[in-house]
Structure 1
Amino acid sequence: MGAPYWAFNTAVNAGREPEGGTLENCAVIYPAGNWAVFAYTCGAINVYPICSRTPLHGHCGQPFVLVGTHCVHVIQAGSTWAAARTQCGLLGGDLIILEDCHQYRKVYLYLTEKGYKPFAFWIGGSDLAIEGQWRWIDGSPIAMGVPYWGNVQVGGPGAPEPNNPGVENCMELSSAWMYRFSNTLCNNTRRVVCETHPL
């Protein structure tokens, strides 16, 4: 207790913090108080939280595992693309972004080593905002063409993905396309690849 953490309350007849007895049981800091600690009412609504998490030296919190530079978790149950984002969010992440070729390869190897085929997975890309402009969920543009996007293979190699503009607006990875990008209906059900950053 005391300096340098706790403030000196300059109000009339006031002394050093903490003050307020049983009425002020929570701690706050604010700029007008030179960022020192003050006792405060716990039910106050005009205070913003400051959150932290204990670092684990580049490790991943459960249920994520470190794959390349990101923490990855595969949800086995099928869901729509929008529901997949919600599920990842409940775990503290979002759908995976594969904008880096090295990280993309690491994830591909992870999925194949785990034997997750012949299945498809939702990843964090779509052209839902503007038709034909494929973007990751963080707003960054998605690289088009090889080596990322697959080819339509009905009856043999065909036109490159994405196809069916205005109809198939969400992105998947599928073993049928050698785990390259493919667009499909957002209401289809797929497994989910979530990611978050290491702690």
Structure 2
Amino acid sequence: MLTAVLLVSAAMALTTTNGFIFQRKNCPPGWLWSNKSCYFYYSGPRTWARAEEACMHLGGHLASVHSVTEYLRVQGLVAQFSHGFMPLWLGANDAAQEGQWFWSDGTQFHYSNWCPGQHNNHFEDCLQINFGERKCWDDVSCQHSLPFLCQKPSRASLCP
């Protein structure tokens, strides 16, 4: 928990140094704003289900990615928090039907960045990112424990 508090404190000091991630009034304290969403990085490893539960408790879901631009933005955020490209959970899984991936926030699963030969393993139903040298996606057992990234709409994106 202390690690998460220290990371939140560091995050609050961020500015637009990388051009897209900074603290903003449209996100709760400790969350970072980027492209109409708020993000919270949690370094404490949890199973995929426990990570999703923690994000829901905070009013969001595990993060979803819908374009290469979003993926690079998410990687940049993770790199700032973890001082590298650490593997972590995002919100996709194919637990309901093998090969049919969906995001836990209910959005469509159209974009992917699978590592060569990945997303082909039975009983490996959850998505980790920053896998291997290419820092691409891999399907792993949902019982594995990893850090994770939560996402929720910013308050500005909720306004009509």
Q: State the TM-score, normalized to the length of structure 1.
A: 0.59
Native 8 Å contact 1:134 1:142 kept in 2: no
Q: Would the aligned equivalents of 1:94 and 1:195 in 2 still touch at CA under 8 Å?
A: yes
Where 2:151 maps in the other structure, the secondary structure is strand
Query: Could you tell me how far apart the structure 2 residues matched to 1:104 and 1:170 are?
Result: 17
Contact 1:71 1:196 in 2 (8 A): yes
Among 143, 150, 164, the residue aligned to 2:111: 143
Q: CA RMSD in A?
A: 2.0
* 1:116 to 1:134, Cα distance in 2 relative to 1, 3 A: farther
Is 1:173 the counterpart of 2:125? The answer is no
Instruction: Please report how far the alpha carbon of residue 124 of structure 1 lies from its aligned counterpart in structure 2 after TM superposition.
Output: 0.6
> In the alignment, which residue of structure 2 is the partner of 1:134?
101
- Report the CA distance shift for 1:118/1:143 in structure 2 as closer, same or farther (over 3 A): closer
Output the amino acid matched with 2:145.
T
Name the one with the larger helix percent: 2
Q: Bigger relative contact order, structure 1 or 2, given CA contacts below 8 A and separation 6+?
A: 2
Gaps of 5+ in 1: 1-56, 152-159
Amino acid at match of 1:161: Q
Structure number with bigger Rg: 1
Provide the aligned length of Structure 1 versus Structure 2: 131
Deviations 1:106-135, CA, capped at 9 Å, x for gaps:
111222233443631110101011111112
Report the Cα distance in structure 2 between the residues aligned to 1:142 and 1:185, rounded to whole angstroms: 22
TM-score (norm: length of structure 2): 0.73
Q: Judging changes above 3 Å, is the alpha-carbon distance between structure 1 residues 139 and 195 closer, same or farther for their aligned structure 2 residues?
A: closer
SS of equivalent to 2:77: helix
Q: Secondary structure at the match of 2:132?
A: helix
Unaligned runs of 5+ in 2: 1-23, 156-160
Cα deviation for residue 141 of structure 1 reads: 2.7
Does structure 1 conserve the Cα–Cα contact (< 8 Å) formed by 2:65 and 2:111? no
**Paired-residue identity, %:** 22
Question: Which residue of structure 2 aligns with residue 157 of structure 1?
Answer: none
Contact 2:75-2:85 within 8 A present in 1 as well: no
State the match for 2:17 in structure 1. none
Q: Which amino acid aligns with 1:140?
A: Q
| Displacement of 1:176 | 2.7
Name the aligned partner's letter for residue 39 of structure 2. V
Matches within 5 A, 1:1-199: 59-117=26-84, 119-137=86-104, 138=106, 140-144=108-112, 148-151=113-116, 160-164=117-121, 166-174=122-130, 176-199=132-155
Q: Tell me the alpha carbon deviations over residues 132-167 of structure 1, each in whole angstroms, 9 at most, x when there is no partner.
A: 1112121523435xxx1123xxxxxxxx21132x22
Instruction: Give the letter for the 1:193 counterpart.
Output: L
